[in-house]
């Protein structure tokens, strides 16, 4: 059987180079669509994808020789993990490759929110010089609560270490992870003490719409809210409600329940979201830097080398 890999997304050449070193034939087709992929996937033992389309039962049925899926990124939510496991198809991803990017982006969102960077910039460009309404908050002395302490959560904590903050973290699936940067705590301590809340958890059936009005209700202090994880974890209407109530001081959202236009613009909450002066939006780019583009492929290449096919 020929060892062939189909790349269906834009990946840094480092992955293909490593795969060829390992004896694979690599077809790099970043412009291929789903229908074209389904028509040829039977000839491949591996497929590499970012976010172009879902790797699901239909694709697995067409991929009679498939042994692995390489996801160029951190999350596996666009892959049917249960189906892959049942078919003994291995999954590799690369959270190590973009965790620094995500950590830095989250810090950037937080600093921008706390110091009104976007608002101040817009006002000055419109001829408004207003120091008082742009008075900011300092990070030093604040309590930062992190939900999820995998690669992304750890990176965010490390980047914050020099700011004089107290960092606490809760992870439902990990214990004993207190380190030089963070103290492991219960969810009760997160909601009691946090001045900042940052999400670093995957999208699963359990986490979908997890962060809603009831979730925010339990927080004892007004918070700055950061989401660089997945948009569907959070109810956007709940964020807007809590902004109006003052429970959320400001929100930095790199991800949304609905992404890309025109669909995003058609959401009933979008006009209110973009009109809010307390929200910073970025287009799902926290983990997508020039550096992470390369590092993700390098990580996938190393993991490919370690696989037993």
Residues serving a catalytic function are: 230, 259, 284
How many other C-beta atoms are found inside a 10 Å radius of the C-beta of residue 207? Answer: 20
Strand order in the sheet with 25-28: 25-28, 4-7, 46-49, 68-71, 90-92
Phi, psi of 259 (to 5 degrees): -125, 155
């Amino acid at each position: 059987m020929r060892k062939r890999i189909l790349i269906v997304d834009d990946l840094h050449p480092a992955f293909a180079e490593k795969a060829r070193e390992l004896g694979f034939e690599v077809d790099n087709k970043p412009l291929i669509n789903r229908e074209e992929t389904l028509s040829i996937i039977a000839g491949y033992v591996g497929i590499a994808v970012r976010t172009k389309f879902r790797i699901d039962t239909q694709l697995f049925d067409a991929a009679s020789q498939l042994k692995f899926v390489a996801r160029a990124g951190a999350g596996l939510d666009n892959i049917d993990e249960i189906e892959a496991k049942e078919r003994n198809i291995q999954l590799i991803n690369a959270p190590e490759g973009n965790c620094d990017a995500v950590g830095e982006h989250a810090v950037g969102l937080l600093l921008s929110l706390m110091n009104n960077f976007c608002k101040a910039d817009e006002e000055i460009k419109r001829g408004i010089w207003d120091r008082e309404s742009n008075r900011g908050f300092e990070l030093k002395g604040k309590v930062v609560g992190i939900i999820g302490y995998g690669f992304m959560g750890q990176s965010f904590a490390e980047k914050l270490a020099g700011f004089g903050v107290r960092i606490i973290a809760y992870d439902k699936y990990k214990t004993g992870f207190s380190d030089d940067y963070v103290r492991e705590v219960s969810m009760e301590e997160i909601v009691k003490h946090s001045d900042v809340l940052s999400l670093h958890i995957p999208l699963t059936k359990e986490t979908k719409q997890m962060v809603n009005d009831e979730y925010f209700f339990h927080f004892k202090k007004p918070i700055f809210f950061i989401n660089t994880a997945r948009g569907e974890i959070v109810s956007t209407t709940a964020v807007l409600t809590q902004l109006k109530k003052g429970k959320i001081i400001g929100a930095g959202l790199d991800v949304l329940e609905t992404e890309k236009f025109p669909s995003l613009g058609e959401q009933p909450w979008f006009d209110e979201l973009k009109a809010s002066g307390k929200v910073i939006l970025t287009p799902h780019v926290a983990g997508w830097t020039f550096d992470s583009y390369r590092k993700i492929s390098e990580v996938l290449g190393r993991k490919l080398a370690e696989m037993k096919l």
